[in-house]
Amino acid sequence: MPSIPIIMPQLGESIAEATIVSFLVKPGAHVEADQDIIEVETNKANMNVASPCRGRLEQFTVQLSESYAVGATLGRIEITVADAALLGLDISPVEKASPQPGPSPAVQAVENGNRQRVEPTIRGLPVPANAAGASYMSPRMKARMDELGLHAADLAGIAGSGAAGRVTIQDFEKYLANLEKQKLTQASTMRVAVADAMRRSWTRPIASVGLPVGLDALLAHRKRQNPKPGLALYALRALAIALAENSAPAGRLVGNQVVHPSSIDLGFAVEAEDGVLVPVLRSADKKPLVELAVRYHELVELARQRKLPGDATGGSIATVTNYGTFGLTWATPIPLPEQTLVLGLGVGRRVPQWQEASAKFEPAIEANLSLSFDHRVLDGGAAGRLLQRVADLMHRPEQL
């Protein structure tokens, strides 16, 4: 019987590999065309690989928790001669009668795009390297780091013995040898992706501003809603309106030009296993809060399952994060590499607030708002005005 390969598909525009998470069908079972048979993990989400045709699952040729490049053969499906003909495979009479196992030459041609299994690489820590240690690297050092898939940021933990504190190749090899003596665990695909994004983000000058915002009106408004919007969604909707009024603060500086956003697409941070995912609400300035709430809750659940659809990831111009869920009153989150802004919301606390009408302090729920931004695009004054506008809108939730 002829058989055809199961090929690792291109699961996204920038995805070159994926890690095998689980096998959804056992070898020997009958499968239909487009039936999900393997669950894989990319640096963005968990996805499924489908059967290319109907037939009997002959075998899987890959291992769990290993990464494989796009185009790699993941297994084989045994099909009938009739099905092979429908797929356009030319099975000669000799091949039909051959009792020898294995694919026919025609089917082997399908596998010409097969690539070798690849190992996940850890691309560096999300911290800047020590300036003295990484100010100069010899070609030999660079070649060795490229071989290991490391970045200059990984040298931050190395004390250099060379001139002016420069890290020598001997320092580097000694450091690697010492690492082998420590407890090591493989970084997850998610953790590697977050580390790489933060490393690239930190190449820019990032600054933060903040102010307190009253939540009493917002919380009263939330009680009347069904479904109830998350506090981060209130902040997201307020930011969307503010940026619709003036999108310049969300522009990106490329060379000597500021690229203005064409759409107010905003992301919000969702904690997932060993990392953070950022689902995106498209055109958040054009949809009222009640309409956004349904999609918001749907994306939160999909993000926690690592099953975000492609149209709900990437392309956002700013992110909103509610670090108050961790009990934090203040934080300075870092914008994603392709973004200029990240708006943060701290935990709500009951505080004494001066009331002019009664001329006395009265209890009120208050939280801190923070705005981290690319200082090349925004100065403190512009960032402060944007944040003040967001706070004003949150004080009037009925306008959201």
Average pLDDT, the chain: 84
- Residue 13 is predicted with a pLDDT of 62
Note the pTM of the prediction, 2 decimals.
0.66
Q: Per mean pLDDT, which range of 249-253, 264-268, 384-388 is the poorest?
A: 249-253
Q: Which two tokens stand for residue 205?
A: 């000058």
Q: What phi and psi, each to the nearest 5 degrees, are found at residue 188?
A: -70, 160
Amino acid at 214: G
- Helix or strand or coil: residue 256? coil
pLDDT band, residue 94 (cuts 50/70/90): very low
Residues 6 or more apart in contact with residue 326 via CB below 8 angstroms: 347
Which one-letter DSSP state was computed for residue 329? Answer: S
What is residue 160's predicted lDDT score, i.e. its pLDDT?
72
**SS3 of 197, please?**
helix
Same fold, 3-118 and 206-399: no
CA distance 242 to 244: 5
Output the CA angle 397-272-276, nearest 5 degrees.
70
The helix/strand/coil state of 48 is strand
- pLDDT for 141 equals 78
Res 163 pLDDT > 80 = no
The whole-number pLDDT of residue 333 equals 94
Question: What distance in Å separates the CA atoms of residue 156 and residue 128, rounded to the nearest whole number?
Answer: 7
| Stronger pLDDT, 234 or 169, i.e. the higher one | 234
Q: Would you state the torsion angle of the CA atoms of residues 68, 73, 77, 82, taken in this order, to the nearest 10 degrees?
A: 140
pLDDT at 87: 67
| Percent of the chain with pLDDT strictly greater than 70 | 85
Cα separation, 80 vs 82, in Å, equals: 5
pLDDT band at 44 (very low <50, low <70, confident <90, very high): low
Decide if pLDDT at 148 tops 80: yes
Q: What is the Cα–Cα distance from 75 to 68, expressed in whole angstroms?
A: 12
In whole angstroms, what is the distance from residue 248 CA to residue 385 CA? 12
Q: Which of 65, 38, 45 is nearest to 186 (CA)?
A: 65
Please list the residues that pair with 178 across neighbouring strands.
none
**Crossing angle between the packed helical segments 380-395 and 216-223, to the nearest 10 degrees:** 40
327-336 mean pLDDT: 94
Where is pLDDT greater, at 378 or 93? 378
40: left (phi over 0), alpha (psi -120 to 50) or beta: beta
Phi, psi of 93 (to 5 degrees): -55, -35
Helix H or strand E segment including 19 = strand 17-23
d(CA 181, CA 387): 49
The yes-or-no verdict on residue 99 having pLDDT over 60 is no
Q: What is the CATH number of domain 3-118?
A: 2.40.50.100
Give the pLDDT band of residue 181 (cuts 50, 70, 90): confident
pLDDT computed for residue 2 by the predictor: 84
Looking at residue 275, its pLDDT comes to: 80
Name which of 119-133, 204-218, 338-352 the model is least confident about.
119-133
56-65, 251-260, 391-400: the lowest-pLDDT one:
251-260
Amino acid 165: pLDDT: 64
Pairing of strands 360-374, 206-214: antiparallel
Report the topology of domain 206-399: Chloramphenicol Acetyltransferase (3.30.559)
* 156 vs 266: CA distance, rounded Å: 34
- The confidence score (pLDDT) of residue 209 equals 97
- H-helix or E-strand containing 363? strand 360-374
The mean pLDDT of 118-127, rounded to a whole number, is: 36
Domain ranges of the chain: 3-118, 131-185, 206-399
DSSP labels, 86-143: HTT----HHHHH----S--HHHHHHGGG---EE-------SSPPPHHHHS---HHHHH
C-alpha separations of 166 from 124, 141, 150, 162 in Å: 19, 11, 17, 5
- Cβ-based neighbour number of residue 369 at 10 Å: 22
